[in-house]
């Protein structure tokens, strides 16, 4: 597995690189400190599996780099790693195609567990309620602090989705468009739209951002058992 770590703080960059290498033996971590180095690294080594991206970079806005990477390399999973834990930043990152959001305020143990999860292809987001995301999407003020995770979220086994809908959900969470999902699965766009709506209904949400949040909470709840 190859990971591109982008953070402009030398000490954090070094500590995170060492942590990731200890978590997964044999992982290759390329650590860079700015957007320019990140772009160059992806150009000469396009086979990275995961990018861990800080939002505060000296030569670029992390959100802008996230948008750029999602457009130029849509198969690269990007997880934001930030000192911010504002709900608006989490939601914006997910809206732009991030597969997760790791606040640096977490303890070393929590961060290590979250990194292990995302490196295994899982999703990690700070604890928020789906209602908080709906509030943000509707333009109303968010609560000043994240609310507890909703205990009513179903487990994956309880969702009742078909294997094909599970395939659609996997690609949906990766930020793929309906057209791209249809092409990958060999189905019509209209059929994919039907599957997407069924998946969103099963999750009890109405948007991709809410789906990522719900799945992130479900994953964390399962790991806590």
In a domain, 150, yes or no: no
Average pLDDT over residues 186-193: 93
Asked if pLDDT for residue 126 goes beyond 90, the answer is no
CATH number at residue 68: 3.40.50.2300
What is the rounded CA–CA span in Å between residue 220 and residue 225? Answer: 9
- Whether residues 19 and 117 fall in one domain: yes
In a domain, 200, yes or no: yes
Residue 85 or residue 196, greater confidence: 196
Residue 183 or residue 125, greater confidence: 183
CATH number at residue 189: 1.10.10.10
What is the rounded CA–CA span in Å between residue 197 and residue 187? Answer: 15
Residue 115 or residue 41, greater confidence: 41
In a domain, 136, yes or no: no
What is the rounded CA–CA span in Å between residue 65 and residue 98? Answer: 11
- Whether residues 170 and 120 fall in one domain: no
Q: pTM for this structure? A: 0.71
Banded model confidence at residue 113, pLDDT cuts 50, 70, 90: confident
Distances 206 to 131, 196, 201 between C-alpha atoms, Å: 11, 10, 7
- Whether residues 9 and 57 fall in one domain: yes
What is the rounded CA–CA span in Å between residue 125 and residue 135? Answer: 17
Residues paired with 4 in a beta bridge = 30, 51
- Whether residues 183 and 109 fall in one domain: no
- In tens, the pLDDT along 151-173 reads 334 555 677 888 898 888 888 87
- Whether residues 84 and 168 fall in one domain: no
- Whether residues 22 and 109 fall in one domain: yes
Give residue 215's pLDDT: 79
Lowest mean per-residue pLDDT among 31-40, 102-111, 120-129, 183-192: 120-129
Asked if pLDDT for residue 130 goes beyond 50, the answer is no
Residue 159 or residue 90, greater confidence: 90
- Whether residues 208 and 106 fall in one domain: no
Average pLDDT over residues 50-79: 92
Domain boundary, last residue among 66, 99, 126: 126
Domain boundary, last residue among 126, 143, 175: 126
Chain centroid offset of residue 125 CA:
7
In a domain, 31, yes or no: yes
Banded model confidence at residue 219, pLDDT cuts 50, 70, 90: low
In a domain, 7, yes or no: yes
Domain coverage including residue 112:
2-126
What is the rounded CA–CA span in Å between residue 164 and residue 68? Answer: 30
- Whether residues 85 and 169 fall in one domain: no
Output the CA torsion 208→96→123→58 (10° steps): -160
Asked if pLDDT for residue 196 goes beyond 70, the answer is yes
Residues paired with 82 in a beta bridge = 103
In a domain, 144, yes or no: no
| 21 contacts 15 by C-beta, under 8 angstroms | no
Domains: count for the chain: 2
- Whether residues 196 and 109 fall in one domain: no
- Whether residues 35 and 89 fall in one domain: yes
Average pLDDT over residues 44-57: 94
- In tens, the pLDDT along 1-23 reads 999 999 999 999 999 999 999 88
- Whether residues 171 and 119 fall in one domain: no
Question: What contacts 24+ positions apart, CB below 8 Å, involve 16-19?
Answer: 16/52, 16/81, 19/108, 19/111, 19/112, 19/115
- Whether residues 42 and 113 fall in one domain: yes
| 81 contacts 62 by C-beta, under 8 angstroms | no
């Amino acid at each position: 597995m190859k990971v591109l770590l982008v953070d402009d703080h030398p000490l954090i960059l070094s500590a995170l690189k060492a942590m990731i290498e200890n978590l997964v033996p044999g992982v290759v971590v390329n650590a860079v400190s700015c957007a320019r180095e990140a772009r160059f690294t992806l150009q000469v080594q396009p086979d990275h599996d995961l990018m861990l991206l800080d939002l505060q970079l000296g030569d670029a806005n992390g959100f802008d780099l996230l948008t750029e990477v999602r457009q130029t390399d849509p198969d690269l999973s990007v997880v934001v790693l930030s000192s911010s834990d504002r709900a608006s930043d989490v939601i914006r990152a997910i809206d732009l195609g991030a597969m997760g959001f790791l606040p640096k305020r977490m303890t070393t143990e929590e961060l290590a567990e979250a990194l292990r999860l995302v490196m295994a292809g899982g999703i990690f987001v700070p604890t928020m309620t789906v209602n908080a995301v709906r509030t943000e999407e509707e333009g109303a003020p968010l609560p000043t602090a994240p609310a507890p995770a909703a205990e009513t979220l179903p487990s994956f086994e309880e969702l009742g989705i078909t294997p094909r809908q599970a395939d659609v959900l996997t690609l949906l969470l990766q930020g793929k468009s309906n057209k791209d999902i249809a092409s990958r699965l060999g189905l019509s766009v209209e059929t994919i739209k039907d599957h997407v709506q069924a998946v969103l209904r099963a999750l009890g949400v109405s948007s991709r951002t809410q789906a990522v949040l719900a799945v992130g909470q479900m994953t964390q709840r399962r790991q806590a058992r």
